[in-house]
Amino acid sequence: MKKALIVGGKGQLGRGLAATAPVGIEIVSHDVDTLDITDRAAVVALVEVLRPDVLLNAAAYTAVDRAESEEDAAFAVNAAAVGILAEAARGVGARFVHVSTDFVFDGTAGIPYAPDAPANPLSAYGRTKRAGELAAGDDALIVRTAWVYAPTGGNFVRTMLRLMAERPEVRVVADQIGTPTYAPDLAAALWALAGKGAQGLHHYTDSGAASWYDFAVAIQEEALAAGLLEQAVPVIPINTSDYPTPAKRPFYSVLDKSSTSALLGAPAPHWRANLRRMIAAIRAEG
């Protein structure tokens, strides 16, 4: 690979892709302000001029609850645009790498979902992301992930740090189980898989599993140890039914990463270890 085009370049994964790119690769990054990925003519023209060796799609409509009332808008970005990007990549012989989600599953399995497990999304967001997987094509590398966080951008960790500093207590859902994913490690895994010529569906998250409540408790513990929070506040576990949202979410969406770990030669770090890395990164940045 000599040249890569990243779309969704200003998001936490897009930034991670730019930061972890293999040495010697020319990176061209675009976001919504410079490229409308739903505009077929614009995408095809750009790709034909750049002629990248790999096109990485880190763009997505991620407002899960708003998608319930804006499914057409979510579909345009999460599905139709994926087909446009895949077609454009194919037209110049580029590898296409697309990122999907654990929300394509209904959460009833009770065991980690393998890449070939039947998809049954519960939400508009999940349906549009599943449609995007199909639009990417069999020759694409499609990596499902979950609960992505990074030192910058909007994510659960940064939200919890803010709320824990502002409120006397925080209430967090305890009956949804999944796995956090550190964006820089996800980005590095995408590069590695692309470099190995991987195709089809793969899963990648940090190792381990947690509820949102477990994750929140760990965030507070690590932030206190690092001096990012001055004092602890009660973290109250609640049920999903106590915090109703427009979109239904899977109760259990842990992904089976065993085949990906075999390809990469090692499992991902545990989510708690990566959380500690992120907290350290935030502290280092002041």
Give per-residue pLDDT as tens, 196-231: 999 999 999 999 999 999 999 999 999 999 999 999
Residue with tokens 């991670």: 16
Coil, strand or helix at 201? strand
Give catalytic residue positions.
125
- The pTM score is 0.95
- Going by DSSP bridges, is the β-strand pair 3-7/54-57 parallel, antiparallel, or unpaired? parallel
For 51-70, what is each residue's pLDDT tens digit? 999 999 999 999 999 999 99
pLDDT for the residue numbered 165: 96
Query: Which domains, and CATH codes, for the chain?
Result: 3-153+180-208+254-268 (3.40.50.720)
Give the H/E segment covering residue 235.
strand 235-238
For 133-187, what is each residue's pLDDT tens digit? 999 999 999 999 999 999 988 899 999 999 999 999 999 999 999 999 999 999 9
CB-facing half-sphere around the CA of 63: CA atoms within 13 A: 11
How far is residue 61's CA from residue 126's CA, in Å, rounded to a whole number? 11
- Judge whether 126 and 104 are in contact, CB under 8 Å: yes
Helix ranges restricted to H, the chain: 12-19, 40-50, 71-75, 81-91, 124-136, 156-166, 183-195, 212-226, 258-264, 271-285
How far is residue 193's CA from residue 188's CA, in Å, rounded to a whole number? 9
Residue 163, φ and ψ in degrees, nearest 5? -65, -40
